[in-house]
């Protein structure tokens, strides 16, 4: 594989909020997409996510019905990562849990036949270096931090480790811009990268305001949407991202930087303990049921 135009077979590991978005945009770009899931139940949930997002795109006139149907035909599912042997690019998008990611990367390493296949991880806080070292090909391992909702937001942070080969970095960045139509920012292999280094302290501060009774969630959000033109306030955004994901990201960032502004407040931990994970579970700072 020498050229981005040759990346036509993409694998996506996981079909949650981020994986579904990745499968959608890859299929929209005309690529053959294979999605690895852990069960038929997660396949069904993943399909539903993709179909809901596409229905939104069709309703808004962004996608024709024929285009939607052919896009869906380009996405297939498997519960066996062994089926990824012929993939030229794999983007892993499972939960922000390092042991799970390490296991997947070790499996991918054993399975992928193309020595130049790129192994990307959609993390926002874990060390790309540690993930790369789970493989025998750290030069081909790279971080791609997409933003939710993936089909709508243009940014991808691309994060190389000290061992990532420049050619892999350049090939992936060109693929993201030329094939997927994304905008790329190069970010350092430091927990939080660029965007979350700024966003996470903001979101944690909003949660602390709720926790201390300083202000109500709806007032904080109205303040930031009406006063600062943010598309959504910090607490609704936290619900969209997923409170479990945010808790994991903030914890990891705090571990690495020891910056108190990154530390997740106890309220966030309790909400996660209680299964209040935001929009995806039906309840977070707001009720979606």
Q: Which are the catalytic amino acids? A: 124, 145, 157, 196
* Binding string, residues 110-149; x marks residues near ligand 3HC by CB under 6 A: --------------x----------------------xxx
- Decide: helix, strand or coil at residue 75: strand
Binding status of residue 62 toward ligand 3HC by CB under 6 A: yes
**Binding to ligand 3HC, residues 182-201 (CB under 6 A):** 196, 199
DSSP 265: P
Q: Which of 99, 213, 231, 260 binds ligand 3HC (CB under 6 A)?
A: 231
Judged by beta carbon, residue 36 or residue 199, the one nearer ligand 3HC is 199
Neighbours of 205 (CB within 10 A): 14
In 151-193, which residue ranges form alpha helices assigned H by DSSP? 166-174
Binding status of residue 235 toward ligand 3HC by CB under 6 A: no
Binding status of residue 229 toward ligand 3HC by CB under 6 A: no
Q: Which of 5, 110, 152, 218 binds ligand 3HC (CB under 6 A)?
A: 152
| Pairing of the two strands 89-92 and 118-121 | parallel
Binding status of residue 57 toward ligand 3HC by CB under 6 A: yes
Stretch that binds ligand 3HC, among 30-38, 57-65, 178-186, 220-228 (CB under 6 A): 57-65
Binding status of residue 227 toward ligand 3HC by CB under 6 A: no
For 87-111, what is the HEC assignment?
CCEEEECCCCCHHHHHHHHHHHHHH
Stretch that binds ligand 3HC, among 7-15, 54-62, 99-107, 111-119 (CB under 6 A): 54-62
Binding status of residue 58 toward ligand 3HC by CB under 6 A: no
Whether the CB-CB separation of 33 and 23 falls below 8 Å is answered with: yes
| Pairing of the two strands 155-160 and 141-146 | antiparallel
| C-alpha to C-alpha distances, 8 to 86, 208, 244, nearest whole angstrom | 10, 46, 33
Q: Tell me how far, at minimum, the Cβ of 259 lies from ligand 3HC, in Å.
A: 16
Answer whether the bond into residue 13 is a cis peptide, omega within 30°.
no
Judged by beta carbon, residue 149 or residue 188, the one nearer ligand 3HC is 149
Binding status of residue 99 toward ligand 3HC by CB under 6 A: no
Cα–Cα dist 81/94, whole Å:
13
Whether the CB-CB separation of 143 and 169 falls below 8 Å is answered with: no
Q: How many residues does the chain have?
A: 289
Binding status of residue 289 toward ligand 3HC by CB under 6 A: no
Binding status of residue 237 toward ligand 3HC by CB under 6 A: yes
């Amino acid at each position: 594989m020498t050229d981005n135009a040759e990346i036509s077979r993409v694998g996506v590991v996981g079909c949650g909020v981020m994986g579904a978005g990745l499968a959608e945009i890859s299929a929209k770009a005309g690529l053959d997409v294979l999605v690895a899931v852990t069960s038929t139940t997660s396949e069904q949930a993943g399909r539903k996510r993709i179909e809901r997002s596409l229905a939104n795109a069709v309703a808004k006139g962004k996608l024709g019905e024929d285009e939607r149907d052919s896009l869906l035909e380009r996405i297939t599912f498997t519960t066996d990562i062994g089926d990824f042997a012929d993939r030229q690019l794999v983007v892993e998008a499972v939960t922000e849990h390092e042991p799970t990611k390490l296991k997947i990367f070790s499996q991918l390493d054993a399975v992928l036949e193309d020595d130049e296949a790129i192994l990307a991880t959609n993390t926002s806080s874990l060390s790309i270096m540690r993930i790369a070292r789970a493989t025998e090909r750290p030069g081909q391992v790279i971080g791609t931090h997409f933003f939710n909702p993936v089909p709508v937001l243009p940014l991808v942070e691309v994060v190389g480790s000290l061992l990532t080969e420049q050619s892999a970095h350049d090939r992936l960045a060109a693929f993201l811009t030329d094939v997927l139509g994304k905008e790329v920012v190069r970010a350092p292999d430091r927990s939080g990268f660029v965007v979350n280094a700024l966003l996470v302290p903001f979101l944690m501060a909003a949660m602390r305001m709720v926790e201390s009774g300083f202000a109500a969630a709806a007032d904080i959000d109205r303040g930031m949407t009406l006063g600062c033109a943010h598309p959504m306030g910090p607490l609704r955004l936290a619900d969209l991202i997923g409170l479990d994901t945010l808790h994991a990201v903030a914890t990891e960032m705090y571990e690495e930087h020891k910056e108190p502004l990154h530390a997740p407040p106890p309220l966030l931990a309790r909400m996660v303990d209680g299964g209040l994970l935001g929009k995806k579970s039906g309840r977070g700072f707001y009720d979606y049921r």
